[in-house]
Amino acid sequence: MLKPENMESLYNELLKVCTPQMFPGLTSFFHAIDDLRKKHRYINIAVLGQFKAGKSSFLNHLTGLDILPVGVTPVTNVVTILQYGNTQKITVHFLDRKIRNIRPGELPEYINEQINTNNHKQVEKVIIALPELAPFRGIRFIDTPGIGSLFKHNTEATFQFTPDTGLAIVAINPGNPLSENDLNLIRDLRTYTPRIYILLTKTDLYAAKDLDEIEKFIYNTLEQHFQISYTIFRYSVRKNAVPFKNEILKEVIRPMVSRQESVIHEINAYKIRSLARTCMSYLEASRQASLKARRQKNELQELIQRNRDNLDRQRRELQLIAQNHAGRTHEKLTDILLAYHESLSRLLKIEFTKDYKTWRGNLFVLSRRYEQWMARHLAREIRNIIDHTEKKWIRLLNDPRKHFEIYLENARKERRDKIQEVLHTTLREEPVKFSKPEIKKPDISVYWAFDTNIDLLWFLIPMFLFRKAFGRFFLKRIPDETEKNLYRTVSALTEIINREIFRMMDDTLTVLRNDLITAEKILSSGEDEAAVLEKKINILQELLGNQPEA
**What is the rounded CA–CA span in Å between residue 435 and residue 95?**
5
Neighbours of 140 (CB within 10 A): 20
CATH code, 41-258: 3.40.50.300
pLDDT attached to residue 132: 92
Would you write out the chain's pLDDT as a tens digit for each of its 550 residues?
A: 556 667 778 878 887 877 666 677 777 777 777 777 775 578 889 898 887 788 888 888 888 888 887 765 556 778 889 999 999 999 999 888 899 999 888 888 888 878 888 888 888 889 999 999 999 998 889 888 777 543 444 445 555 667 778 889 999 988 888 888 888 888 888 888 888 999 998 988 899 899 999 999 999 999 999 898 999 999 988 888 899 989 999 999 998 888 888 888 888 888 888 888 888 888 888 777 767 655 666 677 777 777 777 788 888 999 999 999 999 999 999 999 999 999 999 998 899 889 888 888 777 777 778 888 888 888 888 888 988 888 888 888 888 988 988 888 888 887 777 777 766 666 666 655 655 556 555 566 655 544 545 444 444 455 556 567 777 878 888 898 889 889 988 888 898 889 889 988 988 888 888 877 777 776 665 555 667 777 888 888 887 775 544 4
What are the backbone dihedrals phi and psi of residue 76, each rounded to the nearest 5 degrees, phi first? -70, 125
pLDDT attached to residue 64: 87
In 8-116, the DSSP E strands lie at: 43-49, 79-84, 89-94, 99-102
Strands ordered across the beta sheet of 167-172: 99-102, 89-94, 123-130, 79-84, 139-143, 43-49, 167-172, 195-200, 232-234
Q: Which CA distances in Å does 211 have to 128, 172, 202, 216? A: 34, 12, 10, 8
**What is the rounded CA–CA span in Å between residue 427 and residue 284?**
12
Q: What is the DSSP letter of 549?
A: P
Neighbours of 520 (CB within 10 A): 14
pLDDT attached to residue 96: 83
**pTM of the shown model:** 0.55
Contact 162, 85 (CB under 8 A): no
Contact 402, 464 (CB under 8 A): no
Question: String of b and e for 171-182 (b: at least 16 CB within 10 Å)?
Answer: bbbbeeebeebb
pLDDT attached to residue 212: 92
Q: Which CA distances in Å does 375 have to 116, 333, 364, 405, 509? A: 32, 21, 17, 41, 42
Domain residue ranges in the chain:
41-258, 307-532
pLDDT attached to residue 456: 46
Contact 505, 404 (CB under 8 A): yes
In 86-122, the DSSP E strands lie at: 89-94, 99-102
